[in-house]
Amino acid sequence: MKFNTIIALMQKTLQNNNLLRPTALKNLQIQEDGDPFKILIGTILSARTRDEITTKVIADLFSEFKDAHMLSKANLKKLKKVIQKIGFYNVKATNIKEVSRIIVEKFDGNVPSNIDDLLTLPGVGRKTANCVLVYGFNRPAIPVDIHVHRISNRIGIADTNKPEETEIVLQKSIDKKYWRKINETFVTFGQNVCLPKNPKCGVCQLTKLCKYYEKNI
Task: Give the pLDDT of the chain (217 residues) as one tens digit per residue.
Answer: 689 999 999 999 999 999 999 999 999 999 999 999 999 999 999 988 998 999 999 999 999 999 999 999 999 999 999 999 999 999 999 999 999 999 999 999 999 999 999 999 999 999 999 999 999 999 999 999 999 999 999 999 999 999 999 999 999 999 999 999 999 999 999 999 999 999 999 999 999 999 999 999 8
Domain 24-137: give its CATH code. Answer: 1.10.340.30
Query: What residues does CATH 1.10.1670.10 cover in the chain?
Result: 3-19+141-216
Q: How many CB atoms lie within 10 A of CB 82?
A: 18
**Whole-number Å distance between alpha carbons of 97 and 21:** 31
Q: Could you give the count of Cα atoms lying within 13 Å of 54 in the half-sphere of its Cβ?
A: 22
Residue range(s) of every CATH 1.10.340.30 domain in the chain: 24-137
Q: Between vectors from CA 197 to CA 191 and to CA 203, what angle results, nearest 5°? A: 65
31: Cα separation from own chain's centroid? 16
DSSP assignment letter at 134: I
CATH topology of domain 3-19+141-216: Endonuclease Iii, domain 2 (1.10.1670)
Category of 210 on φ-ψ map: left (φ > 0), alpha (ψ -120 to 50) or beta: beta
